[in-house]
Chains A and B, each alone.
Chain A
């Protein structure tokens, strides 16, 4: 046990040192935008895409390419993992995040030293009985419990109002206290078709941490989705594109004979929520230029939708 920790630490130091050198070099060369704005100075890729594996294997590879979970989760931190549990649908439908992926992420968080890992989503059909159904039927409740995650309901008590001064429309909103109180926020959306917003990916998934979604719809859905990211960007976005719902989204069809799902067996990782949405849009087979909220996100400098400008690491298993 201690042996493993030692090597880990050594490796970490080594990595840190080399990363530091790269970062230093970057500063000298004047390429400052190469560095992320946060204090962790790294040379991690802007986006990692892995394909042709099972959800757990995909994640293990992707996070390794990203530099390991310790880049995101430090010892003693509390983490919120926010999957898409919006609908009472079985994992096969592709309307909710893959439970095995959620489980693997939680396990990695604990391995990286996390103190507590919460899992929650403010489900779409807003009644308590339904929320419980969604958690159960999606398989996420069991998966999260198996990994030691704390499955929390998004109840009405837990919201606090926050101001977003830079927003164009959504200048204030009610956000769940689990997000406000935790150190690390990991966004784990599922890539799926959405009848009324084209696609639901990472930015759209953040509608599950606010209370009053009606306001978004009322005041301008696409702009509000983008505006929210000005308040809090997730520390890591993990897009589940393993089983992709190609039509009848976001809920999937009422009868399974109309189900249209593609096994794309892909996983995307990025700190840049706009970039990851743009990449996922391409995987779905659409053009990011057609998705209004992605364009707004780019305009408002929340992230970069021009994938050509990014350092992307891809890997096929």
Chain B
């Protein structure tokens, strides 16, 4: 059984599914999200912290158990960023640009500090570090913010050309991505490109908190790769194929905490002296290990942060009950500003799945604690009344799934009509762009000498922003203000008893 080939096959399949998840659009994302994402470490962890669900508890436990048995197989078989790096490394190698991998000393202080800090900040509801460093989120942002616009552009260009052949495709809207969000995704792509081109899985063994954590588990995993120290003749063939740079040919030792289980070394050894087997009888390395100290730091930070998480005071600070124009509006299903900002890891899956592109990534709109968490951008679009996709795809429970009927009555914000700016009130002429698109009858019109004046009844408003998007004035005369805790809107039922549809029977015309 060739483990390398199996790894390549599985990881290519998973990576393709990831591309589909983010680029396939609404239905495909909804289908793939519950299959792929429970098996992603950080999303599953966040889901358990915010909205424990049996599926996610099982999946995360599985990841942990697998890591304890087989080592960091997660990094090679399931992590989309790992696969992206492997693809880049493989391409670099094919093009002949890649220098051979060499053994590198571990950056233990760096990686365990990052791990400890990430866990600690996560515990107090400060998600920026997780958002920045989680490999799944990074991949999500790269695909959404760089891949999706490219794909849309190609699709629209082809649609435009196909018109000449009388084939009419509906064009896709180019998603709006703020420059800052785009820059972050772009910088990470460049960082990953350089790191993986030069040194393989360097990211995984320095910056990645998931990698560092699973590394701690794989130190004590049952199955480990090991070199037959007596027979090895230091040909370094294993060293030059090791993406993690964790094989030290001088000491004939493999650093288990950094090995990502790619199994390249198994194939490379001409004498098959590297074996992957249970490590019960192996001699433990009893040298002083900075990794062990790191483990202690991390464990300490973790326990402290979980304590903090349960007594979290920061979330309470953001619980402002009334509608507010300064807070960003969070997607329907996100319960409250506090719930959303404490659970969203900014993977941007909702951004790419949103059919109206109203969900856009932010940069600092949520403050320093919620870097890049997406928001409802009514300058650019509006929330489709008949859609609840974002809740269906969100892996962390930041946006909880809402049945469509419930979503239609979930008030994420409240409309405010500014009559001093409104054309109808200022110029005394018909406009009504807001009322035309309002799906909930929040906006009603009063007829005064044949001019129809808009009025709002916020009981019905769900804050979808259709009116704000449609309003022709700038600045807008009708705006949605955020509900920091989402409310329930009143179901509209026409006030007067309406006459039943009557059938025309007379044969007369009114002219």
A and B bind = yes
B65 neighbours in A (Cβ, 8 Å): none
Is A234 close to B, CB under 8 A?
no
Question: Given contacts A129-B355, A130-B384, A195-B445, is CB(A220)–CB(B427) below 8 Å?
Answer: yes
Give the A-binding residues of B (Cβ under 8 A).
Answer: 26, 156, 159-160, 163, 166, 168-173, 355-357, 381-382, 384-386, 408, 423, 427, 429-433, 435-437, 439-441, 443-445, 450, 452, 454, 466, 469-470, 472-473, 491-494, 498-499, 501-505, 507-511
Known A-B contacts: A196-B430, A196-B436, A264-B504. Give 5 more (CB < 8 A). A127-B381, A128-B170, A214-B470, A247-B498, A261-B501
- State whether A130 touches B504 (Cβ < 8 A): no
- State whether A221 touches B494 (Cβ < 8 A): no
Contacts across chains A and B counted by CB atoms under 8 Å:
159
A131 neighbours in B (Cβ, 8 Å): 170
- State whether A127 touches B504 (Cβ < 8 A): no
- State whether B509 touches A262 (Cβ < 8 A): no
A275-303 vs B, Cβ < 8 Å mask (1 yes, 0 no):
00001001101000010100000000000
A266 neighbours in B (Cβ, 8 Å): 504
- State whether B510 touches A282 (Cβ < 8 A): yes
A194, A217, A262: residue with the most chain B Cβ atoms closer than 10 Å: A217
Query: In whole angstroms, what is the CA distance A124 to B173 when docked?
Result: 15
A151 neighbours in B (Cβ, 8 Å): 168
Query: In whole angstroms, what is the CA distance A303 to B445 when docked?
Result: 29
- State whether A253 touches B436 (Cβ < 8 A): no
- State whether B510 touches A253 (Cβ < 8 A): no
Can you name the residue of chain B whose Cβ is closest to the Cβ of A243? B501
- State whether B445 touches A258 (Cβ < 8 A): no
A212-243 vs B, Cβ < 8 Å mask (1 yes, 0 no):
01110110111000000000000000000000
Picked from B156, B439, B466, B472, the residue with its CB within 8 Å of the CB of A217 is B472
Is A171 close to B, CB under 8 A?
no
Picked from A124, A125, A218, A285, the residue with its CB within 8 Å of the CB of B473 is A218
- State whether B168 touches A217 (Cβ < 8 A): no
A196 neighbours in B (Cβ, 8 Å): 430-433, 435-436, 445, 452, 454
Question: Given contacts A127-B356, A129-B355, A247-B494, is CB(A254)–CB(B440) below 8 Å?
Answer: yes
Picked from A155, A221, A255, A264, the residue with its CB within 8 Å of the CB of B491 is A255
Report how many residues on chain A are interfacial, defined by Cβ distance under 8 Å. Answer: 63
Question: Given contacts A197-B452, A262-B504, is CB(A279)–CB(B432) below 8 Å?
Answer: no
In chain A between 119 and 149, which residues have their CB closer than 8 angstroms to a CB of chain B? 124-133, 135
A181-220 vs B, Cβ < 8 Å mask (1 yes, 0 no):
0000000000000111110000000000000011101101
- State whether B435 touches A263 (Cβ < 8 A): no
Query: In whole angstroms, what is the CA distance A217 to B432 when docked?
Result: 8
- State whether A214 touches B433 (Cβ < 8 A): yes
What are 8 contact pairs spanning A and B, CB under 8 A?
Answer: A127-B381, A129-B173, A195-B432, A214-B470, A247-B498, A251-B436, A253-B492, A260-B498
Is A18 close to B, CB under 8 A?
no
B493 neighbours in A (Cβ, 8 Å): 255, 257-258
Query: In whole angstroms, what is the CA distance A52 to B507 when docked?
Result: 8
Query: In whole angstroms, what is the CA distance A124 to B384 when docked?
Result: 12
- State whether B492 touches A128 (Cβ < 8 A): no
B469 neighbours in A (Cβ, 8 Å): 126
- State whether A127 touches B173 (Cβ < 8 A): yes
- State whether A254 touches B439 (Cβ < 8 A): yes
- State whether B430 touches A292 (Cβ < 8 A): yes
Query: In whole angstroms, what is the CA distance A263 to B507 when docked?
Result: 13
A88 neighbours in B (Cβ, 8 Å): 386
Is A33 close to B, CB under 8 A?
no
B172, B440, B508, B510: residue with the most chain A Cβ atoms closer than 10 Å: B510
Query: In whole angstroms, what is the CA distance A102 to B461 when docked?
Result: 35
Is A156 close to B, CB under 8 A?
yes
* 3 A-B pairs with least C-beta separation: A196-B432, A316-B507, A129-B355
Is A150 close to B, CB under 8 A?
yes
- State whether A150 touches B491 (Cβ < 8 A): no
B502 neighbours in A (Cβ, 8 Å): 262-263
A214 neighbours in B (Cβ, 8 Å): 433, 470, 472
Query: In whole angstroms, what is the CA distance A195 to B491 when docked?
Result: 19
- State whether B492 touches A258 (Cβ < 8 A): yes
Task: For the complex formed, measure the closest distance between the CB of B157 and the CB atoms of chain A, giving whole angstroms.
Answer: 10
A314 neighbours in B (Cβ, 8 Å): 509
B173 neighbours in A (Cβ, 8 Å): 127-129
- State whether B431 touches A217 (Cβ < 8 A): yes
Is A103 close to B, CB under 8 A?
no
- State whether B498 touches A312 (Cβ < 8 A): no
B498 neighbours in A (Cβ, 8 Å): 247, 258-260
A279 neighbours in B (Cβ, 8 Å): 511
Task: For the complex formed, measure the closest distance between the CB of A181 and the CB atoms of chain B, giving whole angstroms.
Answer: 11
Is A83 close to B, CB under 8 A?
no
A316 neighbours in B (Cβ, 8 Å): 507-508
- State whether A157 touches B171 (Cβ < 8 A): yes
Can you name the residue of chain A whose Cβ is closest to the Cβ of B358? A127
- State whether A312 touches B511 (Cβ < 8 A): yes
Can you name the residue of chain A whose Cβ is closest to the Cβ of B505? A52
- State whether B472 touches A215 (Cβ < 8 A): yes
Task: For the complex formed, measure the closest distance between the CB of B166 and the CB atoms of chain A, giving whole angstroms.
Answer: 6
Is A49 close to B, CB under 8 A?
yes
A253 neighbours in B (Cβ, 8 Å): 441, 492, 494
Can you name the residue of chain A whose Cβ is closest to the Cβ of B454? A196
Task: For the complex formed, measure the closest distance between the CB of B384 and the CB atoms of chain A, giving whole angstroms.
Answer: 7
Picked from B381, B430, B454, B472, the residue with its CB within 8 Å of the CB of A222 is B430
Query: In whole angstroms, what is the CA distance A264 to B506 when docked?
Result: 10
A135 neighbours in B (Cβ, 8 Å): 170
B507 neighbours in A (Cβ, 8 Å): 51-52, 316
- State whether B450 touches A290 (Cβ < 8 A): yes
Query: In whole angstroms, what is the CA distance A153 to B170 when docked?
Result: 6
Query: In whole angstroms, what is the CA distance A208 to B448 when docked?
Result: 27
A155 neighbours in B (Cβ, 8 Å): 156, 159-160, 170-171
B382, B408, B469, B472: residue with the most chain A Cβ atoms closer than 10 Å: B472
Query: In whole angstroms, what is the CA distance A144 to B160 when docked?
Result: 21
B439 neighbours in A (Cβ, 8 Å): 251, 254
- State whether A254 touches B445 (Cβ < 8 A): no
- State whether A254 touches B170 (Cβ < 8 A): no
- State whether B355 touches A127 (Cβ < 8 A): yes
Is A90 close to B, CB under 8 A?
no
B440 neighbours in A (Cβ, 8 Å): 254
Query: In whole angstroms, what is the CA distance A253 to B408 when docked?
Result: 13
Query: In whole angstroms, what is the CA distance A255 to B490 when docked?
Result: 12
- State whether B384 touches A248 (Cβ < 8 A): no
Is A108 close to B, CB under 8 A?
no
- State whether A129 touches B356 (Cβ < 8 A): yes
Task: For the complex formed, measure the closest distance between the CB of A58 and the CB atoms of chain B, giving whole angstroms.
Answer: 12
Query: In whole angstroms, what is the CA distance A282 to B295 when docked?
Result: 82
- State whether B432 touches A263 (Cβ < 8 A): no
Task: For the complex formed, measure the closest distance between the CB of A199 and the CB atoms of chain B, giving whole angstroms.
Answer: 11
B355 neighbours in A (Cβ, 8 Å): 127, 129-130
Question: Given contacts A196-B436, A251-B436, is CB(A307)–CB(B511) below 8 Å?
Answer: yes
Is A152 close to B, CB under 8 A?
yes
Can you name the residue of chain A whose Cβ is closest to the Cβ of B166? A150
A198 neighbours in B (Cβ, 8 Å): 450, 452
Query: In whole angstroms, what is the CA distance A79 to B460 when docked?
Result: 43
Query: In whole angstroms, what is the CA distance A220 to B450 when docked?
Result: 14
- State whether A254 touches B501 (Cβ < 8 A): no
Query: In whole angstroms, what is the CA distance A156 to B171 when docked?
Result: 8
